[in-house]
Structure 1
Amino acid sequence: MERYDLIILGGGLAGMCAAVKAAEQGASILLLEKQDALGGSTVLSSGYMAFAETDMQEKAGIVDSIASLMNDMIEVGGGVNDLELVAAYGRHQLETYAWLVEHGVEFRSLEAVSGHSVPRGHMIDPHQAIQSFYQRVKEHPNVTIRFNAPARRLLKNAEGRIDRVVYGVEEQNALASKGVILATGGFAKSEELLGQFAPHLKGALRLGGAGTQGDGLQMAWEHGAWVRDLPYLNGTFGFHPTANGAVKSQGLAFYKGGIIVNQLGKRFVNESISYKLLGNAAFRQPDRITYQVWDQTVMDKRVADDPLYDLELLQRRRLLYQADTLEELADCIDVPADVLAETISTYNQRIQEGAGDDFGRKTLTHRYGTPTPIVKAPFYAFETTVAMLATYAGVAVDPSTRVLNPYGEPIQGLYAIGEVVGGFHGAGYMTGSSLGKAAVFGRLAAVAALAE
């Protein structure tokens, strides 16, 4: 039987951070990746990471604090987040940012993104980050990576500790003396699990990584793992109906000052809230058809090469409607012209008064930014739908990433990181916190497991 200190299941950002951290401590590691390439859902993400008090913020003149970051996370999460996990993130996020930079991850820009009170969305290229860690791993002969090697079951020893993994087509066995780390992702591509836990999202696009079938959850459940956040599963708003895994075709013009209307030409939500909650509201609209509408003032705020704000890229892909008047735009998207005109007129009046509009909007995103009236031609519209991109719910863990049973007791030998974990996000989702927690808790898992 193969023997290692650690076995890591999954080669996304969480698994790779754990592998590199453990390798640098001299541990022998087996990383099993069920696909033929590393990256998982990480490489499908927008690439934002949520960090506070960084040098990038300082250079941009942005005043931020770890306390503010944590408060935003809890507020967006509806106050049902696991506060111990949020606190652990706060304690380790800045050192993790520095560690990522030290290991070659390139932070390219800083943006105001969903759920943040100040600009703290630190953008990376997920492919570059994964490749950077892959190069680091290859420098360590104590790390073995196997592709096309899905884990099948976890086994316990005579003392009740999980120490073996059955994997691969031929069901090979490998032993882990220090522990098994689940970094298997969620279940965005499992119709069976989505039907059980998110039937309200039937009809949403399915854009998660091909390997996100929930196998890590099932392996943990077999051994008594408790779960968190399943009642809060939401889709992600902002995708064109033609989006797919390779070309996501996503745009969030509403966080730059656009509005969202239904096919009746009416607004129905405060556009500054989390795009997870926006997805819920959009899914309740007639025929689930919605449009983002904005003007040239918003278009001028586009950010080139940004996965969320490159509105010009959407235009080059011929996914936007453009018109010189609102009446012409209404005709393009087949909504009542008089209703759309009244919707925008009312919106403009309310935000110019500064008292908030009918839906309570006072900012661009969360507590940041000031909306501007939609008056400057040309005008634009983008048909938008909801996608199941990531599930953000899963097994319960403690701040050391040990998987817990229903009584809050650790399941010996089992750790979990990344999307397979529940409890951290709570009832909402703050942009950048998913990749952020992958890196933060990936490092913590390696340290905790090797310390046993």
Structure 2
Amino acid sequence: MPKLHRILLLVAASLMVGCSDPGPPVDADIIVVGAGIAGLAAAIDAGNAGAQVLVLDANSVGGGHAVKAGGFALVGTELQAKRGYIDTPDVAFSDLMAWGEDADAEWVRHYAEFSDRDVHDWLVEMGVKFNIIIPTPESSVPRFHFAGGRAVKVVVPMMQKALQMPTVRFLWNTRALRLLVNEQSVTGVVAENLRNGTAAKYRASAVILATGGFQSELAMVRKNWRSDRRFPERLLIGSGQFANGDGYRLAEQAGAAFVRMDHQVTFINGLPDPRTPDGSRALVTQNPDAIWVNSSGQRYVNEDASSKLVEAALFKQESATHWLIFDERGKKSFGVRDAPWLNAGTVNQEILLNPEVTQSASSIEELAIATGLPSRDLATTIDRFNVQVQSGEDSDFQRFGPDIQAPIPAEIMQPPFYAVQLFPTTRKSMGGPAINLNGQVLNATGQPVPGLYAAGELTGVAGINGSHGGSGTFLGPSLLTGRIAGQAAAANIPENPQPSIPTTQTVEETTKAEPFGPKDLEPLIQQARN
């Protein structure tokens, strides 16, 4: 079992041992669909406001895509002040608007104003310790914050908090199939237990959709692809397993309006996962001691440039694919992430020594033959790069030089030589159902859909990124929009809710699943497992 999976299960198990039996039926004041960072934030704040919250998630553990993510863009924090970084909401607003190009100004302003209080301080109160800030291309002031590593160190405290709350309950392995709608008001969901295939209705005064993006659903990716960019010959999947577009279909059923659906983050450093039978899923790779060459065997971009620039450069090539070229010395800098089985040994055996993934040869000419790249062009490219390294200046793409604060890479001279072909890879959605500053989903006339809220990547994090994803501008806004939706939904719960009126939708009535409680834990642990 992957280490992260074990951590989250152990957190849940240890906390539930001390909890009281949930007991009451599963209907709730608020249903949150999705237990990623946005859904957890919504559930915690709604539960803190006194609402009875039921969280449904198709996975068997919480955290969503956030467990694979990194840091948070935060403005005006104590850590920034300690490091001597003067950051203000006005500076952050200008940075984000310039980088995104068509970002939602109202939401960008809101995030710049309140990320310190409503994201940073809120997490610190849960025990999260931010101790790292790194500069990023889109920010004039360093504001990319990390809590000692990847965002799982933020997700786990949020899971702990939610699991300790008597007002918040979870149903795992439960996929929302459709919304219950009565006279245009959302009154609950129909959901399927993925373990036994049974379906049941779950009713509530409000539903918060926090299901994540659609980047693992290639049909949706293609349908919403940018009109000014050719769809790649091969596009790998680099998003979470459950980023399948469910939330979009649910919102559409309720009459939601959609915005920025063609705004998508596409990584260009996707390596086909050798453990995926059909080769459709990606690992993310990098090597600071490599060069990137196109199908003509030529460098085409500054390899250290921002994601915004390198993505645009790749899609201008005749074919949207490229190769990492490095030598035996550069092999030490080769890194791969996004799978729990990765370590130094497996990377070497299953990737670097795997001819289906990596080509190697004792000479550049042989490497060109193995890859199908033009031999003379590839050799000329590498020779020119080596000369530039020796001179200390990249006159072609300004990757390094006397006036550039960047390390000078090593020459590519020590055999064997390696070539790894990389492909565009889906990653994040930056469009979705339109929401207002209360997290309410809006219809085509700009009016709220009664009883329906949305948060996180499902909403394209409210358009804060515009056309270009930034560093930390998904996790932070996801958490903030989740909190906003949770608070607003809780504030609008009727004081004396009436029994739900049956909808015209039908579903085979089954016994509803009970939330997992301590009475269920011991027999589960004692079960034999394969």
Alpha-carbon shift at residue 216 of structure 1 (Å): 0.8
Q: 1:14 aligns with which of 34, 38, 53?
A: 38
Comparing 292-301 with 376-385, which one deviates more in the overlay?
292-301
Q: Which residue of 1 aligns with 2:6?
A: none
Q: Which residue of 2 aligns with 1:180?
A: 207
Instruction: Name the CA shift for 1:315/1:157 in 2 (closer, same or farther; >3 Å).
Output: closer
* Residues 296 and 376 in structure 1, CA contact (< 8 A), matched pair in contact too: no
* Residues 155 and 165 in structure 1, CA contact (< 8 A), matched pair in contact too: yes
Instruction: Name the CA shift for 1:302/1:189 in 2 (closer, same or farther; >3 Å).
Output: closer
Q: Which AA in structure 2 matches 1:183?
A: A
3-state SS of paired residue (1:67): helix
3-state SS of paired residue (2:170): strand
* Residues 302 and 312 in structure 1, CA contact (< 8 A), matched pair in contact too: no
Q: Are 1:425 and 2:470 matched, yes or no?
A: no
Q: Which AA in structure 2 matches 1:37?
A: V
Q: Which AA in structure 2 matches 1:398?
A: N
Q: Which AA in structure 2 matches 1:388?
A: T
Instruction: Name the CA shift for 1:332/1:436 in 2 (closer, same or farther; >3 Å).
Output: farther
* Distance in 1 between residues matched to 2:143 and 2:331, nearest whole Å: 22
Instruction: Name the CA shift for 1:293/1:90 in 2 (closer, same or farther; >3 Å).
Output: farther
Structure exhibiting the larger radius of gyration computed from Cα positions? 2
Q: 1:190 aligns with which of 201, 217, 220?
A: 217
Q: Which residue of 2 aligns with 1:157?
A: 182
Alpha-carbon shift at residue 185 of structure 1 (Å): 0.9
Comparing 262-271 with 379-388, which one deviates more in the overlay?
379-388
* Distance in 2 between residues matched to 1:56 and 1:328, nearest whole Å: 52
* Distance in 1 between residues matched to 2:476 and 2:379, nearest whole Å: 45
Q: Which residue of 1 aligns with 2:106?
A: 84
* Residues 274 and 428 in structure 1, CA contact (< 8 A), matched pair in contact too: no
Q: Which residue of 1 aligns with 2:128?
A: 105
Q: Which AA in structure 2 matches 1:340?
A: T
Instruction: Name the CA shift for 1:174/1:304 in 2 (closer, same or farther; >3 Å).
Output: closer
Instruction: Name the CA shift for 1:306/1:191 in 2 (closer, same or farther; >3 Å).
Output: closer
Q: 2:385 aligns with which of 317, 330, 344?
A: 344
Comparing 107-116 with 181-190, which one deviates more in the overlay?
107-116
* Distance in 2 between residues matched to 1:62 and 1:56, nearest whole Å: 9
Q: Which residue of 1 aligns with 2:514?
A: none
* Distance in 2 between residues matched to 1:128 and 1:347, nearest whole Å: 42
Q: Which residue of 1 aligns with 2:246?
A: 215
Q: Which residue of 1 aligns with 2:476?
A: 436
3-state SS of paired residue (1:38): coil
Q: Which residue of 1 aligns with 2:260?
A: 229
3-state SS of paired residue (1:386): strand
Comparing 23-32 with 53-62, which one deviates more in the overlay?
53-62
Instruction: Name the CA shift for 1:294/1:115 in 2 (closer, same or farther; >3 Å).
Output: farther
* Residues 429 and 457 in structure 2, CA contact (< 8 A), matched pair in contact too: yes
Q: Deviations over 1:138-196 (max 9, x none)?
A: 211111100111111112334x322221212443222222x211101111222332232
Comparing 125-134 with 420-429, which one deviates more in the overlay?
125-134
Q: Which residue of 1 aligns with 2:169?
A: 144
Q: Which AA in structure 1 matches 2:201?
A: N
3-state SS of paired residue (1:4): coil
Alpha-carbon shift at residue 393 of structure 1 (Å): 1.9
3-state SS of paired residue (2:222): helix
After superposition, residues 13-412 of structure 1 pair within 5 angstroms as: 13-43=37-67, 45-77=68-100, 79-95=101-117, 96-107=119-130, 109-113=132-136, 115-123=138-146, 124-158=149-183, 160-168=184-192, 169-177=197-205, 179-198=206-225, 200-201=231-232, 203-242=234-273, 249-253=283-287, 260-271=292-303, 274-275=306-307, 278-292=310-324, 319=352, 336=375, 337-341=378-382, 343-344=384-385, 352=393, 370-375=405-410, 383-412=421-450
Instruction: Name the CA shift for 1:24/1:316 in 2 (closer, same or farther; >3 Å).
Output: farther
Instruction: Name the CA shift for 1:59/1:311 in 2 (closer, same or farther; >3 Å).
Output: farther
Alpha-carbon shift at residue 17 of structure 1 (Å): 1.2
Instruction: Name the CA shift for 1:80/1:429 in 2 (closer, same or farther; >3 Å).
Output: same
* Distance in 1 between residues matched to 2:217 and 2:51, nearest whole Å: 34
* Distance in 2 between residues matched to 1:116 and 1:301, nearest whole Å: 27
Alpha-carbon shift at residue 426 of structure 1 (Å): 1.6
Instruction: Name the CA shift for 1:439/1:265 in 2 (closer, same or farther; >3 Å).
Output: same
Alpha-carbon shift at residue 415 of structure 1 (Å): 1.1
* Distance in 1 between residues matched to 2:443 and 2:360, nearest whole Å: 54
Q: Which AA in structure 1 matches 2:108?
A: V
Normalised by the length of structure 1, the TM-score is 0.81
* Distance in 1 between residues matched to 2:173 and 2:318, nearest whole Å: 43
* Distance in 2 between residues matched to 1:84 and 1:34, nearest whole Å: 32
Q: Deviations over 1:49-75 (max 9, x none)?
A: 211322333344434333333323222
* Residues 106 and 128 in structure 1, CA contact (< 8 A), matched pair in contact too: no
* Residues 111 and 477 in structure 2, CA contact (< 8 A), matched pair in contact too: yes
* Distance in 2 between residues matched to 1:240 and 1:275, nearest whole Å: 17
Alpha-carbon shift at residue 29 of structure 1 (Å): 0.2
Comparing 207-216 with 338-347, which one deviates more in the overlay?
338-347
What is the root-mean-square deviation of aligned Cα atoms in Å?
4.0
Q: Deviations over 1:244-270 (max 9, x none)?
A: 79x9643445xx696532243323235
Comparing 234-243 with 137-146, which one deviates more in the overlay?
234-243
Q: Which residue of 2 aligns with 1:451?
A: 491
Alpha-carbon shift at residue 294 of structure 1 (Å): 7.5
